[in-house]
Amino acid sequence: MKLKFTIPGYVQKIARILSKEGYEVYLVGGAIRDIAMGKTPHDYDLATNALPDEMLELFPKSVSTGAKFGTVIALVEDSKKENHDVEVTTFRSEEEYVDGRWPSKVEFVDEIYKDLGRRDFTINAMAIDLPLELLDSQEIERDWEVYDPFGGMEDIKLKLVRAVGTPIERFKENGLRAFKGCRLASQLEFEIERDTFEAIKECIPIAKQVSMERIRDEFMKLLLKSPKPSKGIDLMRESGLLQIFLPELLEGFGVEQKLYHVHDVYWHSLKTCDYAQDSVKLAALLHDIAKPRTDMGNGHFYGHDVMGVEMIETIMKRLRFSKTEIERVKTLVRNHMFYYPHSQQEGKSNEDMQLSQWSDSAVRRFLNRVGEENVEDLFKLRIADATSNPNSPFNPEEITQLQKHISEVRAKDMALKVSDLDITGEDLKLIGVQAGPAMGKILNALLDIVIEDPLMNTKEKLLDEAKHML
């Protein structure tokens, strides 16, 4: 079978250098799959019979990321002098994987067939020969012959994720492949072929050997690259993979929400994730994580936002997220239930609603609690949470009005953090305040005063208040 497409000039440049030295070179991997599906590839990977040491000589600016496994990152410039990197791997076969991650031995081979045979899924086990006579660096569309020994093109037509060869052998080799299979099915909106899915279930002990960092990275790809992450997440539930790294999410399966909700806690969380924008995907998935543990049995889940923060700390530490990201998600989940009354709520007059709306100081307290940098993401989470539930009483006017109010408050001179105060620790030292916890307490107390009344934010007034606190 042939595919008609354009190979970027910088990719051709690398292939031409290898070909001129007498080496075979092929385009391989996901790029071919994407092209066959009418998509533009983000990455282009090459395979060659050149050995890693030989490639390092040919590409002086290359980076050896896994030379013992045959992989080199070749760095080249395109016609516009822009830098690109392309992963180039020596044809190889692999011995038994001793830890579910790395092969006990890698043997470099001289046949592309053997190289494709050790790959994970048929849709990733295709190659296109790049002979020197076709490598002119001209970015023109031409026909390229696809070498497809395992039926990857047919599986693309059938929309199937199928393991190369014997499925159980592929998953025993590398425990991450089970997670990747679910991710690809979700990302491409494919199904997992029956025998392949059964092999994933059987190889859960191997999948458990994968580091949490690698699972996290694969899971985040699923969340951020899938049209509907719920598909891949539920495949992980059915296969047993979810239990390995996120068992808390399973607690919501079958836990009904009798008030305002159509779905159980588990499916509501997944659907909220589907509707959420990328920056809040993870927070959306975890926003109700504590509901099963706070279930009152009557449709109420009192304190699930508070307990959810504690659970998220545990979950995200387990998955080796950064402290910054953990704190961000905790903030979003802790505050996802905020309510801002709008002026057209049924049963209330405009005057009543105006009286019940947040004061300027309430808005400042909200911004102080949430952090200005998190406000827009919090709004995104709030909207996704409501959109996923057709019975939600949420009115989008709530967000619109609050955004307007925040803009009005922001236009005024306001202090939202200690560093915004017209006073410093040095000023407090002059009136006898010792550096340490006591000083921090006083500064925070002064901030509370200023949030309530911005006119208090002068050095003279704050020093006077501080003296009364001594």
pLDDT in tens, 311-358: 999 999 999 999 999 999 999 999 999 888 764 444 444 444 444 478
Residue 154 shares a structural domain with residue 168: no
Give me the residue label for tokens 């390229």: 144
Query: The domain that contains 79 carries what CATH number?
Result: 3.30.460.10
Residue-range definition of the domain harbouring residue 45: 2-158
Number of domains in the chain: 4
Taking all residues of the chain, what is their mean pLDDT, rounded to a whole number?
A: 89
pLDDT recorded at residue 373: 94
pLDDT at 33: 97
- Taking a C-beta distance cutoff of 8 angstroms, is the pair 288, 265 a contact? yes
Q: Do residue 255 and residue 387 come from a single domain? A: yes
Asked if residue 153 and residue 30 are part of one domain, the reply reads yes
Q: Which of 126, 158, 190 is the last residue of a domain?
A: 158
Contact 349, 392 (CB under 8 A): no
pLDDT band, very low/low/confident/very high, at 262 (cuts 50, 70, 90) = confident
pLDDT for the residue 354: 45
| Whether 257 and 321 share a structural domain | yes
- Same domain? 147 vs 53: yes
Last residue of a domain, one of 158, 174, 196: 158
Q: Phi and psi at residue 297, in whole multiples of 5°? A: 85, 0
Calculate what percentage of the chain has a pLDDT beyond 70.
91
pLDDT at residue 341, rounded to an integer: 75
Verify that 82 and 23 share a domain, yes or no.
Answer: yes
Mean pLDDT of 463-470: 91
Report strand pairing: 191-192 vs 160-161.
parallel
The alpha helices in 22-64, defined as continuous H runs, are: 30-36, 52-58
Domain identity same for 50 and 169:
no
Instruction: Say yes or no: 219 and 261 in one domain.
Output: no
**Can you tell me the distance from the alpha carbon of 125 to that of 68, in angstroms, rounded to the nearest whole number?**
22
Per-residue pLDDT band at 144 (split at 50, 70, 90): very high
Q: Which range (10-24, 115-129, 356-370) has the least confidence?
A: 356-370
pLDDT at residue 108 in the model: 60
Predicted confidence at residue 225, as pLDDT, reads 97
Pair (252, 390) in one structural domain: yes
pLDDT at position 104 is: 46
Report how far apart, in Å, the C-alpha atoms of 294 and of each of 297, 302, 306 are: 9, 6, 10
Residue written as token pair 């690698």: 214
Confidence of residue 99 (pLDDT cuts 50, 70, 90): very low
Q: Are 257 and 268 spatial neighbours (Cβ–Cβ below 8 Å)?
A: yes
H helices within 261-321, ranges in order?
265-275, 281-286, 304-318
Residue 4 has pLDDT above 60, yes or no: yes
List own/partner pairs for 16-20 with CB under 8 A and 24 or more apart: 16/132, 16/135, 16/137, 17/58, 17/59, 18/46, 18/48, 18/50, 18/55, 18/58, 18/88, 19/130, 19/131, 19/132, 19/135, 20/132
How high is the pLDDT of residue 344?
47
In this prediction, residue 416 carries a pLDDT of 86
Q: Are residues 353 and 367 in the same domain?
A: yes
Selection from 64-73, 386-395, 408-417, 428-437 with the highest mean pLDDT: 428-437
Q: Phi and psi (nearest 5°) for 261?
A: -120, 140
Among all chains, which residue has been given the structure tokens 């002119």? 136
Say which CATH number the domain at 193 has: 1.10.110.30
Residue 197 CA to chain centroid, in angstroms? 24
- CATH number of the domain to which 345 belongs: 1.10.3210
Of all residues in the chain, what percent carry a pLDDT higher than 90?
Answer: 69
Asked whether residue 460 carries a pLDDT value surpassing 60, the answer given is: yes
State whether 308 and 332 are in the same domain: yes
Last residue of a domain, one of 222, 245, 268: 245
13-66 pLDDT, tens digit per residue, is 999 999 999 999 999 999 999 999 999 998 999 999 999 889 989 988 877 765
Which range among 83-92, 102-111, 397-406 shows the weakest confidence by mean pLDDT? 102-111
Does the pLDDT of residue 153 top 50, yes or no? yes
Rounded CA-CA distance 437/434 in Å is 9
The average pLDDT across 376-395 equals: 90
**Same domain for 341 and 322:** yes
pLDDT in tens, 154-210: 999 999 999 999 999 999 999 999 999 999 999 999 999 999 999 999 999 999 999
Secondary element (H or E) of residue 192:
strand 191-192
CA dihedral for 195, 196, 201, 203, sign (positive or negative): positive
Task: Determine what percent of the chain falls in helix, strand and coil, rounding each to the nearest 5.
Answer: 55, 10, 35
Please tell me the predicted confidence (pLDDT) of residue 64. 74
